[in-house]
Amino acid sequence: MEDAGGREGVRALLGTFLALERDVLVLSVAMFAFSLGFQMTSRYVPRYMSVLGAGAVAIGLFGTFGNLIGAVYPYPGGALSDRIGSRVALTLFGLASTLGFVVWLFADAFGVVAVPPVGTTVELLGQAVVVGWLEPASIPVGIFLGLALAQAWKSFGLGATFAVVKQALEPDRLATGFASTETFRRTAFLLGPLLAAGVLSGFAFETGFRVLLAVAAAFGLGATLAQHVLYDAGEDSLGKSFEGVSTILEDLRAMPPALRPLLAADTLVRFANGMVYVFFVIVVTEFLAVGVRLPVVGRLSPDAYFGVLLAIEMLVALAVMLPVSRLSRRVGLKPVVALGFAVYAVFPVLLINAPENAAVLAALFAFSGLRFAGLPAHKALIVGPAEAGTGGRVTGSYYLLRNAVVIPSAAIGGAIYAVSPRAAFAGSTAIGLVGVGLFLAVGEDFEAART
């Protein structure tokens, strides 16, 4: 009886999905195409930078630049979408992202900017320690310019994508609409790394990655043209201009007190992860240099195997999110969120100290997928304490403040990594564990989430 009920649930969900408005379907397909392009390229860009001659400092600065874009782009992107309409906005953002993939493809043609070496000696526990980097850094201009463009659809277009779903559907169908777009996006998260692994298994890294960038640009252009032609702009509504920074400050001051411990802990955990996130691919492909031989597939280089590891991570994430979210209704949100924070915290030190063994790395990335288990509970814990009608503002304020603080994390991690990779990853875990401990000690649960 339970299996029959499950099959009926799947059929009902599929029927609802197929019955969605055309605009939401168009948006979902575009989201899949752009997400596929990002997922098969973005995690490899630090490795691409390394091949082009960039060092740890430049890679860390790249991560910080990405953090800055992620924090800054969504608000003006949403405001621009309100002013010019979702169709025009998404077309402009899509073209910019497509151009970004092309700029990455020809990144070496843009030259480099040299950053002089920096080293400051400080006394720590009675020992003289050099803080900074002692080697000149070469920053590839094309990589940073490409990132500023490639992130446009994803970050600038965030508000526009929400607006499309809201305009196309009745209020009681919004959740289904967002579920459809999220399903497409997460599917791309799984398929993108596998596609990257397939391409990189047949080429040397630089050649294979350029092929992936060309494919990503083709996906982006196709998605942009499709959404421009198929999206019906008749329902677009034009809004007002930005009312001022005072609005943001008021929202920050009005944040529920119950969120402050969560925000502090979350910021520490994300800052810690941000210190080394861009170096995961470097550790797997260069520091450990672990490949694998698989049945039927044959030998995979470390670059190709990294794509498989990312797919394993996402497969676990997709498998655990729903069951764990259901579990949170019994045990509460706090334990589930703490689990996700703990995985974020301990993964770096486990990775940097892992043996050069493909099976161990597969197990580690499967373990890393458990960090996604806490995401639904985390979002519920953020919006749960908000008063009626303020959920959007509370959520926006929370992420704005957290993301702003996390911006310099990768640059700091890169500076430490240039001196000692193990120190950077160990420091990341230490800061992350402080965040976990803080949340366990003073974090509050949202009791209404329990049944």
- Among residues 268, 49, 103, 84, the alpha carbon closest in space to that of 159 is found at 84
Asked, colleague to colleague, whether 18-231 and 243-451 share their fold, the answer is yes
Q: Which residues contact 347 (CB under 8 A, 6 or more apart)?
A: 364, 367, 368, 371, 429
Encode the chain in three state secondary structure. CHHHHHHHHHHHHHHHHHCCCHHHHHHHHHHHHHHHHHHCCHHHHHHHHHHCCCCHHHHHHHHHHHHHHHHHCHHHHHHHHHHHCHHHHHHHHHHHHHHHHHHHHCHHHHCEEEECCEEEEEEECCEEEEEEECCCEEEEHHHHHHHHHHCHHHHHCHHHHHHHHHHHCCHHHHHHHHHHHHHHHHHHHHHHHHHHHHHHCCCCHHHHHHHHHHHHHHHHHHHHHHHHHHCCHHHCCCCCCCCCHHHHHHHHHCCCCCHHHHHHHHHHHHHHHHHHHHHHHHHHHHHCCCCEEECCCEEECHHHHHHHHHHHHHHHHHHHHHHHHHHHHHHCHHHHHHHHHHHHHHHHHHHHCCCCCHHHHHHHHHHHHHHHHHHHHHHHHHHCCCCCCCHHHHHHHHHHHHHHHHCCHHHHHHHHHHHCHHHHHHHHHHHHHHHHHHHHHHCCCCHHHCC
Does the pLDDT at position 101 exceed 60? yes
- Among residues 409, 428, 419, the alpha carbon closest in space to that of 352 is found at 428
138 phi/psi in degrees, rounded to 5: -110, 115
The residue that leads in pLDDT, 160 or 218, is: 218
Task: Count other C-beta atoms under 10 Å from residue 229's C-beta.
Answer: 9
What is the pLDDT at residue 75?
A: 67
Does the pLDDT at position 451 exceed 50? no
What is the pLDDT at residue 223?
A: 86
Per-residue pLDDT averaged across 86-96, rounded?
Answer: 83
Which amino acid would we find at residue 400?
L
118 by Cβ neighbours in 10 Å (0-12 / 13-18 / 19+) ranks as middle
CATH number for the domain whose boundaries are 18-231: 1.20.1250.20
Does the pLDDT at position 180 exceed 60? no
Does the pLDDT at position 105 exceed 80? yes
Does the pLDDT at position 443 exceed 90? no
25 phi/psi in degrees, rounded to 5: -65, -40
The residue that leads in pLDDT, 251 or 157, is: 251
Is 243-451 assigned to CATH 1.20.1250.20? yes
pLDDT confidence tier of residue 347, bands split at 50, 70 and 90: very high
Q: What is the pLDDT of residues 257-304, one digit of tens each?
A: 778 888 899 999 999 999 999 999 999 999 999 999 888 778 899 999
The residue that leads in pLDDT, 27 or 197, is: 197
Domain boundaries, the chain: 18-231, 243-451
What percent of the chain lies above the pLDDT cut of 70?
71
What is the chain's mean pLDDT, rounded? 79
The residue that leads in pLDDT, 67 or 185, is: 67
Rounded CA separation 376/321 (Å): 7
| Cβ(149)–Cβ(97) below 8 Å | yes
Task: Count other C-beta atoms under 10 Å from residue 385's C-beta.
Answer: 18
- Among residues 99, 45, 79, the alpha carbon closest in space to that of 224 is found at 99
